Structure 1
Amino acid sequence: MEVSQLFPILKLPFVALWNVIRSMGMKETIDLSFTSKKLVTIIKSIPIADPEITLEIRPAEQPPLFPEETFQPLTMTEKFQKKTKSKDGKLDGKNMSIEYLEYICALFRNEISTLLINVNTSTPVLTSLLIWMNDRQPVLTSCLIYGDCKDHEIIDRFFEERIFSIRQLCFKLKLPPDTKPLNFESLEMEEFVVRTMDVTDSIPNWITVDSVLTSNSITMGIGASPFTGTDLNRIIKGWINGNNPRMEYFRVGVKRCNRQSLLDGIEFEKRETTVKRMYIAENKNYKIQRPIKKRTISGGYDIRRNDGTVATFQLLHSPQSPRALIELSLASKKCRLIIKSIKIPNPGVDFKLVTSEEISQGKNDAREHYLQKHFDILTKCLKLRTYDIDGEDITVEFGRAWAEYVCDLFGSGISSFIFNSSIPGLDLPGLSKWIKNRQSGSKMRLCRLYGDCKNTDNISLFFGARTFSINHLSIQLKFSSGVTPINFGILDMDEFDARTEDMPYIPNWITVESVLTSNCVRMWIGPCTFTTTDLNRIIKGWISGNNPRLEMVHAAVKPFDGHPLFEGIECERRDFDLLRNSNGMVKREVMIRGGFDIVGHDGTVATFKIKNRRWNDKVLWDFYLVVWKNGY
């Protein structure tokens, strides 16, 4: 095992120390600032371009919103108290206070750029934060309010006590059916986005049409809403008559409505679907991923407001729920034949295997009840022999039979395969061969493995029997300490995403050969046992022509002596202030500041870099290799 050598950092010359500090991450820099006044002075002198300070407030017992390896906000919980300098000089991320936030903002000479608020946060914490922010900054770039919203006291309090303006306001909420309209006051932000999760047939009455009519937002994206055709008619007429002159894009989800009530009293010109126009949103440098960057409008209804500005509106119908069609198919053979004759866009069947413990915890109650309900009917329809149902568990054999039925009904293949690897006696090689035999020519959208993993042999056999293509392979396993590496065969999917954070140790679950022989476009590898020599081999492999499709690879590793990383590699060190973006996993962006540029055998340029971060109260290094396919 390679061991990092300690050295007296404070004895470095000023310029050398300045360069060391500016290559550190934010939390490591904060920790270091506690060491001496000299370091505070040096940190404040470093010209960091727009340092992003993100703060998340949430109940102490709830997990952070984003995975630790991709997003590390400062955190304030209900346990907040006056922050004082700790004896070991380390940041206590679980106990953030107003005094400490002031210290951080002063250290980086910047304001809070992004605020993440869990709706179950206590009122005193939110009130203290808002009072402080009202006094210290006039504008917040982005704000996201999220969580299971049993009541909207926190949301109402937020709008009542907030004085500072917000450029981008986003909601990601689970709302109860009896929710009353939220008190938004005036929606004056540039972008207003709401995602409502787990909405059933009963859409909560969480927003009023008056909130839209009095808004001044440039972009509005509203999820499932209680709006009617008459409400949409009022919104269109309001825009025509001069409401919200800044509006550029508006989208809202509604139940099916009467088209006549939507068009009543509106002068319009109907466009043919062959007329295609594209809306491209201006880059506003928001901190939270935007739901709409560009949209192609085919046809629609053109309208004109009093100042001559033209707009287009559309009413797009979502396809019939596949679940409703499955229900109908079980009624008679005639219904099944009719459904089979319907051309359903992008059909696909999700096949998921879970443990009885997950079912009892309520994670899959709706699906389990649905399968149980139609077990007898399905058996008769398919003329199957009896499959045993042990208590509340449905056997894997029946799950396969059900999947075959649904695939045959929609004329499609398995689009995603998700399974808990800890299911006892699970025949993964058999499942792999079954999928191979039924859809060898089609690509699976997603394959996800999760759960506790004490032995990787069965998983290796699954990949050994695999010949079908996968677009996105997701590994979310909690490995035991003594596991052996998984034999993946050839990793040829577009996305390989492995997140193994919830462990006090780093298991030996993947080999560097799996990366060197891969043909993935993007690879995100969580904590692994790669050494500096392994990373050196990955860099040299890409330079020599391994995996020409590669756009990005990430690996989280233990700190090591940096010299072997560069051995035999010609590279150019880029200035720290040079900032470049790359599209990361699942449409996230990865920002590369500085780093080392290398050139592949075909002239393509790539950049590799090491970044520090905290992991289980220890330091972990994130290795990035980003390929600039379209220049930089």
Structure 2
Amino acid sequence: MDAVQVSKPLRILKLPYVALRNIIMNLDQLEVLDFSFISKKCRSIIKSTKFANFTVKLNMQTAQCPFAFIRERKTICEFSTEILKTRNRYMNGGRIALSQYSNDGEGICIECAKIWGDYICDIFRIDIDTLDLEPNQSVEKMISIAEWLNKRQSSLRCCYFYGTETNSDSLDRFFETADFSIQKLVLLLNQTYKISPLSPKILNVNCLWASSKNWRHLIDWITVEHILASNCVTLWIEASSFHENDLNRFIKGWLNGNNPTMEFFHVIVKRLDPDLLFDGIRYEEKDNSLIRNYDCKAVGVQYEFKGGFDIRRSDGRVATLQQKTHLQNPCQIYHFAMIVWPNVISM
């Protein structure tokens, strides 16, 4: 009877650097995490490795995996709360109580998320790219997460708030506390009750996308005063309570020098009366045969301007305004859009 051949363990730490690097580069993110726990040397090796491009998302929504690794808009690996719990003994000497991870199916607690977030970002030498939060978190929790991000990074590419319950005080305190810049802010607030206008600081972002479910839950928590004072490049607002006088103020504000960085503005409204909309505004109406396109990469939309109304600011910048609707539109919902053309300085 032949003896069973027992393979010898591969002592990968004894391998030359190039061979060791090739092995590590073929590990997935969870395997990399586990490798880093073996020893200080292993953690140092991981930190010295340049991995293929991916981003990290921290998701604090109920019943969601707290950490996800994203490449080309696809999730390639996730760390669930259970995965983190089973590795609890490696974090701060296991001083995090397992009961602290979550409560009754809720998302990961903020303190655990901060500890794990710091460790994950450290070994992969990367910042949090995307943050998903529920808009009904307590004021204390919102301040805590904002203060943590203030200390660990200077910017956040994308921040999502979505849910059916909203605590406007908590949202205000988050943005008032946050010192880091936000490139894209998405507010999907679907509460069925009225909330107060949010802090003007929500407009201190490159792109704002604000959405509500339908016309019964209008977005009245973003006002014209918000828009006039904003530094946004892209503003995309759905189901808004704006009317002709509001948009007239916005257009005149732009003509007078407000919103100097704005490139694209979109809002869904009821049908607008052109006479009221353009009251006191000089414009040039373009024929519908003139078709101009704008690639709004921030929200992933190719927007077509067919004809429209051109206006010019005193510095020569030209913008086109358009009101359009779909053929089947029983609710009489209209898309009002304004594009500031980047290379046009005359009319």
TM norm structure 1: 0.45
Q: Give how far 1:519 is off.
A: 1.2
The residue number in structure 2 matching 1:329 is 36
Matching residue within 126, 143, 164 for 1:429: 143
Query: 3-state DSSP class of the match of 1:590?
Result: strand
| Count of matched residue positions in the alignment of Structure 1 and Structure 2 | 306
Q: Give how far 1:328 is off.
A: 2.3
TM norm structure 2: 0.79
The residue number in structure 2 matching 1:302 is none
The residue number in structure 2 matching 1:509 is 221
**Residue pair 2:234, 2:265 contacting (<8 A) in 1 also:** yes
Query: 3-state DSSP class of the match of 1:480?
Result: coil
Q: Which amino acid aligns with 1:420?
A: E
Cα distance, 1:452–1:340 mapped onto 2, change above 3 Å: same
Cα distance, 1:616–1:481 mapped onto 2, change above 3 Å: farther
Distance 1:345 1:568 in 2: 55
Query: 3-state DSSP class of the match of 1:472?
Result: strand
The residue number in structure 2 matching 1:414 is 128
Cα distance, 1:561–1:609 mapped onto 2, change above 3 Å: same
Q: Give how far 1:411 is off.
A: 2.3
Instruction: Give the 5 Å matches for 1:108-119.
Output: none
Distance 2:224 2:60 in 1: 30
Q: Give how far 1:445 is off.
A: 1.1
Query: 3-state DSSP class of the match of 1:536?
Result: helix
The residue number in structure 2 matching 1:101 is none
**Residue pair 2:211, 2:219 contacting (<8 A) in 1 also:** no
Distance 1:403 1:557 in 2: 41
Distance 2:95 2:295 in 1: 50
Query: 3-state DSSP class of the match of 1:591?
Result: strand
**Residue pair 1:504, 1:616 contacting (<8 A) in 2 also:** no
The residue number in structure 2 matching 1:146 is none
User: Which runs of 5 or more residues in structure 2 are unaligned?
Assistant: 1-24, 66-74
Distance 1:488 1:548 in 2: 17
Larger radius of gyration: 1
Distance 2:228 2:40 in 1: 52
Distance 1:594 1:500 in 2: 29
**Residue pair 1:490, 1:517 contacting (<8 A) in 2 also:** no
The residue number in structure 1 matching 2:265 is 553
Query: 3-state DSSP class of the match of 1:602?
Result: coil
Distance 2:138 2:252 in 1: 42
Matching residue within 374, 393, 398 for 2:112: 398
What are the Cα deviations for residues 475-511 of structure 1, in whole angstroms up to 9, with x where unaligned? 1120323211111416232221122234634242211
Matching residue within 363, 371, 375 for 2:81: 371
Query: 3-state DSSP class of the match of 2:58?
Result: strand
Q: Give how far 1:531 is off.
A: 1.8
Q: CA RMSD in A?
A: 2.7
Distance 1:511 1:602 in 2: 27
Q: Give how far 1:544 is off.
A: 1.5
Distance 2:43 2:105 in 1: 28
Distance 2:185 2:49 in 1: 31
Cα distance, 1:391–1:489 mapped onto 2, change above 3 Å: closer
**Residue pair 2:160, 2:187 contacting (<8 A) in 1 also:** yes
Instruction: Give the 5 Å matches for 1:10-409.
Output: 321-344=28-51, 346=53, 348-356=55-63, 367=78, 370-383=80-93, 385-387=95-97, 388-389=100-101, 390=103, 392-393=105-106, 394-409=108-123
**Residue pair 2:191, 2:217 contacting (<8 A) in 1 also:** no
Cα distance, 1:550–1:345 mapped onto 2, change above 3 Å: farther
Q: Which amino acid aligns with 1:400?
A: K
**Residue pair 1:473, 1:496 contacting (<8 A) in 2 also:** yes
The residue number in structure 2 matching 1:579 is 291
Query: 3-state DSSP class of the match of 2:325?
Result: strand
User: Which runs of 5 or more residues in structure 1 are unaligned?
Assistant: 1-317
Instruction: With a CA cutoff of 8 Å and minimum separation of 6, indicate the structure with the bigger relative contact order.
Output: 2
Does residue 475 of structure 1 match 2:187? Answer: yes
Distance 1:409 1:615 in 2: 53
Distance 2:26 2:261 in 1: 35
Cα distance, 1:576–1:429 mapped onto 2, change above 3 Å: same
Q: Give how far 1:603 is off.
A: 0.4
Distance 1:613 1:484 in 2: 31
* Percent of residue pairs bearing the same amino acid type: 32
Q: Give how far 1:470 is off.
A: 1.0
What are the Cα deviations for residues 263-310 of structure 1, in whole angstroms up to 9, with x where unaligned? xxxxxxxxxxxxxxxxxxxxxxxxxxxxxxxxxxxxxxxxxxxxxxxx
**Residue pair 1:470, 1:493 contacting (<8 A) in 2 also:** yes
The residue number in structure 2 matching 1:465 is 177
Q: Give how far 1:324 is off.
A: 3.3
Q: Give how far 1:404 is off.
A: 1.1
The residue number in structure 2 matching 1:175 is none
